[in-house]
Amino acid sequence: MTTQTEEQTISYVAAIRQALGDMMAEDESVFIYGEDVGGTFGGAFKATKGLAERFPGRVLNSPIAEDAITGVAIGAALEGARPVIEFQFADFASIAFNQLVNHAGAFYWRNGRPCPITARFPVGGTPGGGPYHSQMPEAWLTNHPGLVVVAPSTVADAYGMLKDSIRCNDPVIFCEHKYLYNHLKEPFDPALPVAPLGAAVVRRPGRDVTLVSYSAMVHDCLAAAEGLMDEAGISVEVIDLRCLRPLDMDTILASVSRTSRLVVATEAWPYGSVAAEVVSAVAQLGFHLLDAPPKRICAIDTPIPYHPRLWAAHRPDARRIMAAVEETVRF
């Protein structure tokens, strides 16, 4: 394991790479299997760069066949290994859907044997990514019991939650936002603990409205919260879900009990989404806490456009989030 204890500033993708290396050093049963992860290439986003040299025979290139990658990982997990698989793009999780939900997610409940795989999915949009390389597939997977689904938004969580995911005896879907890989750089001390899997955190305290998000959209929400305070004097409490299944409703409801208002902002489509689940759960469990209808702001409900300007218009940004929050506060 790394002996580094001093704080440094590193990128989101470097934190993922460091977590993978630390876990492979800690546990010989951990191996990496995925598309172009080995050799000098280090994966499409360089998350595994250098690990094949450090751990010979444990960073393995796969065919471009997500169904086969997942099936191999499930078999290895059932025989005592802890595989970490990487798809080049989360959009193609649909190809492995049967393996993920009917096998990995259900195996313990059918046979009593754990299936500790960690599936790393590069999620979300970047300018020019288009409809096949920009999706947020978490709603497909959170619908299925047996899977843990996480979506870290910070460097510290990318590191700590990945290590916790690999240690977890349940299959984990680990959603890494592509835009954050190299754009997000933060001070980081690997010796500091992070909140456990399943726990949401309050990223910014506030009194007027609860703003819930996850993954890269958390940063848009924090920018919106700062803008609302500066421009309108609205105090926004920002909650980072971090884990989408299980969902930490206790933290959400505790926040809504303080603010009496809820807005959920995500990059995903609105229909059948995590945002819809949060709004529904708060309406059911915390209706008496609300002074305004809960609101969700999501991507436009169309396939994701290629053109950077259309892509920017397709997903929420800080200004659209600010408008939604102001409308809720002034209800």
Question: How many angstroms separate the CA atoms of 122 and 62, rounded?
Answer: 17
Determine the average pLDDT of the residues in 145-156. 97
Tell me the residue length of the chain.
331
- At residue 304, the pLDDT reads 95
For 127, counting Cβ atoms within 10 Å of its Cβ (0-12 exposed, 13-18 middle, 19+ buried), the class is middle
Give, in order, the Cα–Cα distances in Å from 216 to each of 158, 175, 316, 318: 12, 10, 11, 12
Q: List, in order of start, the domains of the chain with CATH numbers.
A: 8-188 (3.40.50.970), 201-329 (3.40.50.920)
SS3 category, 195: coil
The predicted structure's pLDDT at residue 3: 43
pLDDT for 29 equals: 98
How far is it, in rounded angstroms, from Cα 39 to Cα 52? 6
Q: What is the value of pTM for the model shown?
A: 0.95
The catalytic residue positions are: 133
By the 10 Å C-beta count (0-12 exposed, 13-18 middle, 19+ buried), 298 is classed as buried
Mean pLDDT for 145-163 is 97
How far is 66 from 88, CA to CA, in rounded Å? 9
Residue 6 pLDDT class (50, 70, 90 cuts) = low
Q: What is the pLDDT of residues 228-270, one digit of tens each?
A: 999 999 999 999 999 999 999 999 999 999 999 999 999 999 9
Residue 298 CA to residue 140 CA, distance in Å, equals 16
Other CB atoms within 10 A of residue 101 CB? 18
pLDDT the model gives residue 2: 43
Residue 117 neighbours by CB distance under 10 Å? 31
At 304, the amino acid letter reads I
Question: Does pLDDT of 4 surpass 70?
Answer: no
Q: How confident is the model at residue 1, as a pLDDT?
A: 40
What number is the average pLDDT over the span 87-105? 95
